[in-house]
C-alpha cells in the first residue's frame, strides 16, 4: 500500500482536492470546519485505476501549523503539491517545497487547483511555468503539473492517472524485520480502548505482537489492526495503520513516540547528522544556536553543534551533532528538519547518520567525519565494521540486533568480515562469543597496559590491581558484564600483556621490590614471626615495625596470612597448624578452642581466629562449641 502527502500554501484547496479525489473530508476537527482551514493532519484514501488502495495524508498549509505538516510528510511514497492557479507560488508553497526537498521526497505530482477561477489561458500558462521553474532545483524537478478544479471535477481523472503512474515507479518498501510506526494520532474507541495511527516503516506488524513504545519503554500488545477502516491481521511496510493496543492508557502515549519491537530503537537525546542549510535560509546557521528538531512525527527543542566550523552558509553542507531537550526514537537514515523557534522558519535539514552517539563529540575531527561517511553511504560490511568498532565488543547476535540492515544482508556482511579478518572473535574457541575489530582490540589492549602501568607506579608494593577496579576503569558508561570482562582478560593473558594472580591483575614483568630500608624492616618483622610462630605479632604490632604498604605486600605475596582482623600467621606456621588440627580431628572427631589453645600454647584470641578462618575455608565445621572436619 502506498501513501501520498499533500503540501502547499494555506487556502490553496488541498482539503477540497482530497475530498474530490476520495469522497472523504479530511478536516475532522470542528475548528477546522469553522475556520475553513486545516489545522492538524487529516486522512483519507482512494483506489487507483489498478484497484490498489492509496492513503492520503492532508497537511495544514498555514505557517502556524508547520510542525503538524512535518508530522505528516515523513515516510510517504509521493507528494501532491497543491498550487492555486489564481495565486501561484506563495510563501508556504516555497517552505513546504523546501521541506520536501530536505526530506529527499523522491517523486511527486503538482495539482494546479482552482482553474475554474481563472479565465485567461495566458495567466494559467504563466503560473504553470512559474511552478516548473520553482521545482527545477528541488527533488521534485520534472514532476507532472495537472490543472484541476475540485469544484467542477475538471482534470481530476487526469490527476488520478498521473498519481497512479508516479506511484507505480515507487519501489516496494523494504521489510527489514524492524518495524517502526511513528505515532501521529492517539485516541480511544468505546469498547476497544487505545488506538494509535501512523505510517508503518521497515517491517510488518501482526495481531498479537508484543510491542514497545519508545521513548519510554512502554510495553503493550497489538489487539487489532486496521487500514482504511478494514480489519487486517498483518500490516505491511508503507501502510497507513491504526493499531488497537491492549494494556495501555492513552495518557501514556503522544504524537512523536514510536511503536516498535523491543530493541529496535531507543530514546536518545543526541543525534549525529548530515546537515544542509536552505539556500534562502532566513538566518545563518551558527554553532550552538537553539533550534527545533523534527523527524517523522517527533519534535524537540535542541541545540545545534556544528562539527566542522562556527557557521554554515546558505546552501552549504556539513556534519553536525544535535543535542535534544527531549529524547526521541529515531534511526540511522531517517530524514529530519531543523527550524528556528522564533520567529519560526525552516533553516535546513538532512539525514541522521547516528541516532544515539555515546558522547558529545570534539569538533574538527577528520577521523569522526570518515566514520560518518561510512554510516551515511558505506557498504553493509563497512557499516557493521563501524558499529563493532564503536560499540564493541559485541556478540554476533548483538550486532544483528543493533544494525538497521535486513537480517540476511547483515548476516552475510558479518560472515564476510570474519572471513576477511576485519572483525575477530576475542576467544577463538567461542563462535558465538564477543567480536571486535583488530584496531579496537589493539586500542583496548594498550589501555589495559596503560592502566596497569599507572597502577604499578602508584602502588609499587601491591601485587596487582583488583579485577573489579580494572573493569571499572576500562568499561564504557554502558558497562560490561563480568562474563565479557573475563573474556577480555583471558585474551589479554593469551597475548602476554596481563598476568593473573588470583583476583589481581599485573603486568607480566612486574615484581614487588622493597627498598633497602623496607627490606630490613620486613626481615625484622618476619624474624619475630619465626620466634613465636603460634603467637606472632598482631596486625597492630606489625605496623609498629613496617609500614602498611609493606605489610600488605607480605600478605599479597602469601608470606603472611591474615585469618582475622588483627591475627596474622606466617604461611609455614599456618600450614603446620592446619595439619596438626586435621590429624587431631581424624583421631578424636572434634576439637574445641581450648584444646587448640593447649595444643599450640597460644591464647584464645589466636585460636578462635584460626578456627573461624578454617570454617570459612570449609576445612572445618562448627558443631556446638567444637569443630569437626567437613
The three-state secondary structure class of 93 is: helix
Please indicate, yes or no, whether residues 128 and 14 belong to a single structural domain of this protein. Answer: yes
Residue 432 lies in a domain: yes
Residue 492 lies in a domain: yes
Please indicate, yes or no, whether residues 89 and 198 belong to a single structural domain of this protein. Answer: no
C-alpha–C-alpha distance, residues 597 and 588, integer Å? 16
Grid coordinates of 140: 521534485
Q: What is the mean pLDDT of residues 184-209?
A: 92
**Cis peptide leading into residue 510 (ω within 30°):** no
Q: How confident is the model at residue 502 (pLDDT cuts 50, 70, 90)?
A: confident
Q: What is residue 155's predicted lDDT score, i.e. its pLDDT?
A: 97
Please indicate, yes or no, whether residues 162 and 15 belong to a single structural domain of this protein. Answer: yes
Nearest-CA neighbor of 443 among 487, 389, 498, 396?
389
Q: What is the mean pLDDT of residues 153-174?
A: 92
Q: Look at residues 115, 139, 168 and tell me which one is the last residue of a structural domain.
A: 168
Q: What is residue 221's predicted lDDT score, i.e. its pLDDT?
A: 97
Q: Look at residues 106, 134, 168 and tell me which one is the last residue of a structural domain.
A: 168
pLDDT tens digits for range 556-588: 889 999 999 999 999 999 999 999 999 999 999
Percent of the chain with pLDDT over 90: 73
Please indicate, yes or no, whether residues 447 and 578 belong to a single structural domain of this protein. Answer: no
Q: What is the mean pLDDT of residues 194-218?
A: 95
Predicted TM-score of the model (pTM): 0.75
Please indicate, yes or no, whether residues 432 and 447 belong to a single structural domain of this protein. Answer: no
Burial of 513: CB neighbours in 10 Å, binned 0-12, 13-18, 19+? exposed
Residue 174 lies in a domain: no
Nearest-CA neighbor of 98 among 355, 338, 375, 388?
338
Please indicate, yes or no, whether residues 427 and 409 belong to a single structural domain of this protein. Answer: yes
Q: What is residue 224's predicted lDDT score, i.e. its pLDDT?
A: 96
pLDDT tens digits for range 509-559: 999 999 999 999 999 999 999 999 999 999 999 999 999 999 999 998 899
Q: What is residue 33's predicted lDDT score, i.e. its pLDDT?
A: 38
Grid coordinates of 42: 487529516
Residue 107 lies in a domain: yes
Report whether pLDDT(494) > 90: yes
DSSP string over 520-559? HHHHHHHHHHHHSSSS---HHHHTTTS-HHHHHHHHHTTS
Q: What is residue 29's predicted lDDT score, i.e. its pLDDT?
A: 36
Please indicate, yes or no, whether residues 416 and 455 belong to a single structural domain of this protein. Answer: no
Provide the number of structural domains found in the chain.
6
Please indicate, yes or no, whether residues 194 and 235 belong to a single structural domain of this protein. Answer: yes
Q: What is residue 28's predicted lDDT score, i.e. its pLDDT?
A: 47
Domain range spanning residue 33? Answer: 2-168
Identify the CATH number of the domain in which residue 587 sits.
1.10.10.10
Residue 250 lies in a domain: yes
pLDDT tens digits for range 417-454: 999 999 999 988 776 789 999 999 999 999 999 999 99
Please indicate, yes or no, whether residues 140 and 236 belong to a single structural domain of this protein. Answer: no
Distance of CA 348 to the CA centre of its chain: 24
* 504 close to 464: Cβ distance less than 8 angstroms: yes
CB neighbours of residue 579 within 10 Å: 10
Torsion of CA 196, 201, 206, 209, to 10 degrees: -70
Please indicate, yes or no, whether residues 275 and 342 belong to a single structural domain of this protein. Answer: yes
Identify the CATH number of the domain in which residue 190 sits.
2.40.30.10
Residue 173 lies in a domain: no
Q: Look at residues 227, 260, 293 and tell me which one is the last residue of a structural domain.
A: 260
Identify the CATH number of the domain in which residue 394 sits.
1.10.10
pLDDT tens digits for range 295-326: 988 999 999 999 999 999 999 999 999 999 99
Report whether pLDDT(174) > 90: no
DSSP 104: T
Please indicate, yes or no, whether residues 280 and 191 belong to a single structural domain of this protein. Answer: no
Identify the CATH number of the domain in which residue 38 sits.
3.40.50.300
Please indicate, yes or no, whether residues 6 and 152 belong to a single structural domain of this protein. Answer: yes
Q: What is the mean pLDDT of residues 60-73?
A: 55
Residue 353 lies in a domain: yes
Q: Which helix (H) or strand (E) holds 566?
A: none
Report whether pLDDT(37) > 50: no
Residue 76 lies in a domain: yes
Amino acid at each position: 500500500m502506498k501513501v501520498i502527502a499533500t503540501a502547499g500554501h494555506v487556502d490553496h484547496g488541498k482539503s477540497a482536492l482530497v475530498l474530490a479525489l476520495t469522497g472523504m473530508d479530511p478536516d475532522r476537527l470542528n475548528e477546522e470546519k469553522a475556520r475553513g482551514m486545516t489545522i492538524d493532519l487529516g486522512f483519507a484514501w482512494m483506489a487507483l485505476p489498478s484497484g490498489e488502495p492509496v492513503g492520503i495524508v492532508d497537511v495544514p498549509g498555514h505557517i502556524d501549523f508547520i510542525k503538524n505538516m512535518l508530522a505528516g510528510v515523513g515516510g510517504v511514497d509521493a507528494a501532491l503539491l497543491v498550487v492555486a492557479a489564481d495565486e501561484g507560488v506563495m510563501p508556504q508553497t516555497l517552505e513546504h517545497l523546501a521541506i520536501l526537498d530536505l526530506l529527499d521526497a523522491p517523486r511527486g505530482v503538482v495539482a494546479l487547483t482552482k482553474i475554474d477561477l481563472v479565465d485567461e489561458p495566458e495567466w494559467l500558462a504563466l503560473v504553470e511555468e512559474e511552478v516548473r521553474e520553482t521545482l527545477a532545483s528541488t527533488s521534485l524537478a520534472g514532476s507532472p503539473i495537472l490543472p484541476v478544479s475540485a469544484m467542477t471535477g475538471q482534470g481530476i481523472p487526469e490527476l488520478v492517472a498521473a498519481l497512479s503512474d508516479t506511484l507505480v515507479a515507487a519501489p516496494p518498501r523494504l521489510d527489514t524485520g524492524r518495524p517502526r510506526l511513528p505515532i501521529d494520532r492517539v485516541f480511544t474507541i468505546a469498547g476497544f480502548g487505545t488506538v494509535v495511527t501512523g505510517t508503518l516503516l521497515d517491517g510488518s506488524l501482526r495481531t498479537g505482537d508484543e510491542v514497545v513504545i519508545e521513548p519510554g519503554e512502554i510495553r503493550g500488545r497489538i489487539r487489532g489492526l486496521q487500514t482504511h477502516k478494514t480489519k487486517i491481521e498483518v500490516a505491511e511496510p508503507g501502510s497507513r495503520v491504526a493499531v488497537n493496543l491492549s494494556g495501555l492508557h492513552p495518557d501514556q502515549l503522544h504524537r512523536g513516540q514510536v511503536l516498535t519491537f523491543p530493541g529496535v530503537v531507543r530514546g536518545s537525546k543526541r543525534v549525529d547528522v548530515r546537515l544542509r542549510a536552505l539556500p534562502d535560509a532566513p538566518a545563518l546557521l551558527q554553532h550552538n544556536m537553539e533550534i527545533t528538531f523534527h523527524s517523522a512525527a517527533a519534535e524537540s527543542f535542541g541545540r545545534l553543534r556544528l562539527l566542522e566550523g562556527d557557521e554554515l552558509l546558505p546552501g552549504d553542507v556539513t556534519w553536525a551533532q544535535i543535542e535534544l531537550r527531549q529524547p526521541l526514537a529515531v534511526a540511522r537514515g531517517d530524514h529530519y528538519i531543523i527550524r528556528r523557534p522564533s520567529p519560526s522558519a525552516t533553516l535546513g535539514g538532512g539525514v541522521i547518520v547516528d541516532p544515539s552517539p555515546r558522547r558529545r563529540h570534539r569538533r574538527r575531527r577528520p577521523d569522526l567525519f570518515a566514520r560518518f561517511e561510512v554510516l551515511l553511504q558505506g557498504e553493509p560490511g563497512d557499516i557493521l565494521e563501524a558499529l563493532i568498532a564503536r560499540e564493541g565488543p559485541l556478540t554476533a547476535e548483538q550486532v544483528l540486533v543493533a544494525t538497521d540492515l535486513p537480517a540476511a544482508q547483515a548476516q552475510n556482511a558479518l560472515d564476510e568480515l570474519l572471513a576477511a579478518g576485519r572483525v575477530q572473535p576475542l576467544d577463538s574457541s567461542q563462535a558465538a562469543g564477543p567480536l571486535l575489530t583488530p584496531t579496537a582490540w589493539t586500542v583496548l589492549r594498550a589501555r589495559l597496559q596503560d592502566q596497569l602501568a599507572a597502577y604499578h607506579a602508584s602502588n609499587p608494593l601491591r601485587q596487582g590491581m583488583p579485577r573489579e577496579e580494572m573493569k571499572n576503569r576500562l568499561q564504557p558508561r554502558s558497562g560490561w558484564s563480568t562474563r565479557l570482562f573475563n573474556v577480555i582478560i583471558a585474551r589479554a593473558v593469551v597475548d602476554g600483556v596481563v598476568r593473573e594472580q588470583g583476583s589481581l591483575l599485573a603486568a607480566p614483568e612486574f615484581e614487588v621490590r622493597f627498598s633497602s630500608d623496607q627490606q630490613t624492616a620486613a626481615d625484622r618483622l618476619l624474624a619475630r614471626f619465626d620466634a613465636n610462630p603460634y603467637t606472632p605479632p598482631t596486625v597492630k604490632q606489625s605496623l609498629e615495625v613496617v609500614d602498611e604498604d609493606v605489610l600488605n605486600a607480605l600478605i599479597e605475596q602469601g608470606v603472611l596470612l591474615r585469618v582475622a582482623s588483627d591475627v596474622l600467621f606466617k604461611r609455614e606456621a599456618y600450614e603446620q597448624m592446619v595439619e596438626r588440627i586435621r590429624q587431631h580431628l581424624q583421631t578424636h572427631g572434634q576439637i574445641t578452642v581450648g584444646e587448640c589453645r593447649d595444643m599450640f600454647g597460644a591464647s584464645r584470641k589466636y585460636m578462635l581466629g584460626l578456627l573461624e578462618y578454617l570454617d570459612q575455608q570449609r576445612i572445618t565445621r562448627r558443631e556446638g562449641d567444637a569443630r569437626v572436619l567437613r
